[in-house]
Amino acid sequence: MTEAELFEQILGIKEIRVDRVDWQEQALHIYCSSIFEETLCPHCLKKRQVVHQTYERQIRDLPITGKEVYLHLSQRQFYCPDCDRRFNERFNFVAPQRAMTCRYERYVYECCKASTIQKIGFGQPVTKFTNGVRGKNCKSARFRT
Ligand SMILES: [Zn+2]
């Protein structure tokens, strides 16, 4: 099993193949692309194969072994001659225009739901944190006038 195949199994996203993995100290950068030859035009629902352009789309995913995971997806934009429109290939694991996978969005949501306002305030009691900021601003404003 190659490293790419191993990461395809770990990710469990059936719509993409892993092309390469870049290990860094804090993060894993996983370069991937679609497994499909064609896609459906979202307007007329006809199959399209003509790629207009591709660009790299960075998508945050769930951490692996404590490292941040970024998918670098080779995003394809297709052209539909019937509709005379360009459209991006869509995937089930990430919503259009979003920079994180659906499962990472759920993870962040659950973390926020389970958290307290004190934890969101950088580990400081929020009243203490905001009072300090507010006091400093008020004081400087008072002394300027
Ligand atoms: Zn179309």
What does the pLDDT look like over 85-102, one tens digit per residue?
999 999 999 999 999 999
For residue 42, report the distance from its CA to the centre of ligand 1, in Å.
7
3 state SS of 80:
strand
3 state SS of 139:
helix
For residue 79, report the distance from its CA to the centre of ligand 1, in Å.
8
For residue 33, report the distance from its CA to the centre of ligand 1, in Å.
22
Q: How many CB atoms lie within 10 A of CB 2?
A: 8
What does the pLDDT look like over 5-33, one tens digit per residue?
999 999 999 999 999 999 999 999 999 99
For residue 92, report the distance from its CA to the centre of ligand 1, in Å.
20
What does the pLDDT look like over 97-140, one tens digit per residue?
999 999 999 998 888 888 776 675 554 444 444 443 333 433 33
Residue 131: the pLDDT is 41
Task: Read off the pTM.
Answer: 0.76
Cα 43 to Cα 138: distance, rounded to the nearest angstrom: 55
Token pair belonging to 125: 């009691």
44: pLDDT strictly greater than 50: yes
For residue 34, report the distance from its CA to the centre of ligand 1, in Å.
20
Cα 80 to Cα 45: distance, rounded to the nearest angstrom: 10
Contact, 137 vs 144, CB < 8 A? no
Token pair belonging to 43: 């307007």
Residue 120: the pLDDT is 59
Closest CA to 34 of 94, 102, 108, 119: 94
φ and ψ at residue 13, rounded to 5 degrees: -100, 110
Contact, 104 vs 91, CB < 8 A? no
Domain boundaries, the chain: 3-101, 115-145
Residue 129: the pLDDT is 40
Closest CA to 91 of 21, 43, 32, 50: 32
Residue 101: the pLDDT is 96
49: pLDDT strictly greater than 70: yes
Comparing 143 with 14, which gets the higher pLDDT? 14
56-65: average pLDDT = 95
Residue 143: the pLDDT is 34
